Structure 1
């Protein structure tokens, strides 16, 4: 990570990994001036106020998530400037302090790292992976274990044509214009993205479901990896793949939808529910998960991600 000067009242920049259950939040981004809607960032910055930074602490979030979407591991960078003569917080102390002052039980800071002042949590990310969870064999949502509610998309169908879903997912891999899977409101200047991985696989029976509850229930995971995604791209791709699994679409139709670049078509305008979606990881360089100390890009590498 390199060395950092211990100058008096110097700002220290940190990369922080954190997780949350998104059920009761209006997304990860802070909601300003609202009485009832609140984002995960509001609580993180409220906790950071207790650190007595000379300047207000703002979390620059790597990956925006919508209301109801969860994160196994999201990331953000923040600057802390302590009073003159006080050394910067160690990453371990910062992690413990933030968790101590967090006032919501559905948020937890996983780990923190010192990074150079040019580091940017959003621009420097080289990989983002999303997980979407499905449950089949669930005629009514209230038949799903309370511990799995708001953590998967319950489907009435008893099974999915997983082979067809996997075939359809292959059409999405690679570099394409994903306009057909972009919801309105996206700030992206270009809809071209490179999807590195799209997988559909069965889960073992959920440990949160009792044996007597699990009759007919099966759980499935869809994973998508890219450097970045368009607004609601993952949820719209998921909805189309589920339609394939249910026999409403063919894999060839998914290819046609992608090539149409039309976000308003009858099939591609469907959006999977937010509560089944998890941001699984945000990676920097060729690093692994949050437990691995991140490699920080050089100035030239950093500029290439702007």
Structure 2
């Protein structure tokens, strides 16, 4: 029964990836001391130090050209909720925040871990992300919705509806995070960052997935065919440039996923698991020149 519940939970999480489109707006942030210059779809941007600019990107392919001439091509999908374009390679700290109707915050399970910000150690419900594209649509960020953006004030209360507890995520730039720690969470640590920091030279961290798939050895022919269909649709999603194409593949993939899960349950083969590379993502780097 536990295995079946686990599979059904995966099905629920998969379906949750296909929510209605919110707003495909990306923050181009410059948390440095020099002007950030780049082009997006051949439009020039000059972002002053410690400033940001928001850019709305339509569905389809876009080109980001960096000051060194490197060109990064991204595909934006119909389900995109935007995110952060991070050409400086700056670290962003995701903080998990518990909201509850009862005084039981300490009983809510959060994953605490040690992180480094400019060489200074911090411990708590934090995660550091420094990718070139930080996709707001994809990833659970400790199980909470990415609700609060960088520089946005966190609300003290939250409507939980019928739930008694929920976890949301606040994204912090590194200086914003240090201020949060030293002024609100642990005032006794004031000055620690300035005293112990070891700033490093930041550069764009461009992760390009070459779309290589390894098909596992699956004895059951029907299950193997269902697995291969998921791979085929996942590849097709990577290439899809229009809303019509993307939504068609989404629909076909959901049906194929259900068939695959039902077959694993029928065979009681819980060792065969498929993890999509592309399906559910809101933006993907497709090419780098």
Q: TM-score range by the shorter chain?
A: under 0.3
TM-score relative to the length of structure 2: 0.26
